[in-house]
Amino acid sequence: MMDAVALALGVRGLLGPSAVVAVVVTALLLWVLHRRALRGRFVPRPAPRVSDPTLLRVAAIVLVIMLALLVSGLAPWMPTTLGALVLIAVFAWRSPRRLSLDRALAAGPVRCGVVPGAHGRARTGESPMPCCGPRLTA
The per-residue pLDDT for 29 is 95
- Give the residue-averaged pLDDT of 113-134: 46
**Alpha helix stretches (DSSP H) within the chain:** 2-33, 53-70, 77-94, 101-112
Neighbours of 112 (CB within 10 A): 15
Q: Examine the pLDDT at 71 and tell me if it is beyond 80.
A: yes
Please give the share of the chain, as a percent, with pLDDT higher than 90.
Answer: 24
How confident is residue 35, by pLDDT bands cut at 50, 70 and 90? confident
Q: CA angle, 62 as apex, 60 and 65 as ends, to 5°?
A: 110
User: CA-CA distance, 45 to 73, in Å (whole number)?
Assistant: 40
Report yes or no: 57 and 87 within 8 Å, Cβ to Cβ. Answer: no
Average pLDDT over the chain, rounded to whole? 76
pTM across the whole model: 0.46
User: CA-CA distance, 126 to 107, in Å (whole number)?
Assistant: 16
The per-residue pLDDT for 128 is 46
User: CA-CA distance, 136 to 138, in Å (whole number)?
Assistant: 6
The per-residue pLDDT for 6 is 66
